[in-house]
């Protein structure tokens, strides 16, 4: 566990990891986590985002959401860069099990294996999983 750092103006910055494990639609988890990420980024936290299990589908290109009457928020992941969120990770095994490659996804992300994912989680101050 690393120590949280305090900036000059007294704002505490912590290492946050948001773990996405669920498919994008059918539940509100993916969209809610995405909103939490944007808020944390606005408060200048050290934000990390991981996609594993069916969560990797959240980044799938060409989602057709009209018939679900859902907004296609996969486009919003492309705005993460504008919010300064650039530490984005995919779990290699989850990608392989679902036949996905980085080319299938809306944004680039670092592919790491399950063991590295565990290490990443261990190095965080806060881990939120949904």
Partner 1 sequence: MHYQLNDQQIEHDEEGYIVDIAQWSEPLAEHIAQSENLAMTSEHWEVISILREYYQEYQIAPAIRVLTKQVAKRLGDGKGSNKYLYELFPYGPAKQACKIAGLPKPTGCV
What gap in Å lies between CA 88 and CA 4, rounded to an integer? 20
Task: Map the footprint of partner 1 across residues 18-47, applying CB under 8 A.
Answer: 35, 38-39, 42
**CB-based burial label for 47 (10 Å; 0-12, 13-18, 19+):** buried
Residue from 3, 26, 27 nearest 13 by CA:
3
CA distance 42 to 29: 20
User: Would you count residue 83 as binding partner 1 (CB under 8 A)?
Assistant: yes
* Closer CB to partner 1, 31 or 126, in the complex: 31
In the block, which residue shows the tokens 């939490």?
A: 36
CB of 41 to partner 1, least distance (A): 8
112 - beta bridge partners? 91
> According to the binding rule CB under 8 A, does residue 115 interact with partner 1?
no
Using CB under 8 A as the binding criterion, the count of chain residues that bind partner 1 stands at: 13
Nearer to partner 1, 37 or 109 (CB): 37
Binding site for partner 1 (CB under 8 A): 35, 38-39, 42, 71-73, 75-76, 78-79, 82-83
């Amino acid at each position: 566990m690393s120590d949280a750092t305090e900036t000059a103006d007294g704002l505490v910055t912590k290492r946050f990891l948001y773990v996405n494990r669920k498919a994008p639609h059918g539940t509100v988890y993916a969209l809610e986590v995405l909103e939490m990420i944007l808020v944390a980024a606005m408060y200048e936290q050290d934000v990390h985002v991981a996609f594993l299990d069916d969560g990797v589908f959240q980044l799938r290109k060409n989602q057709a959401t009209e018939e679900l009457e859902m907004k296609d928020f996969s486009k919003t992941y492309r705005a993460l860069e504008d919010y300064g969120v650039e530490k984005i990770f995919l779990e290699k095994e989850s990608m392989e099990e679902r036949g996905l490659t980085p080319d299938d996804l809306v944004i680039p992300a670092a592919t790491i294996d399950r063991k590295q994912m565990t290490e990443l989680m261990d190095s965080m101050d806060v881990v939120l999983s949904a």
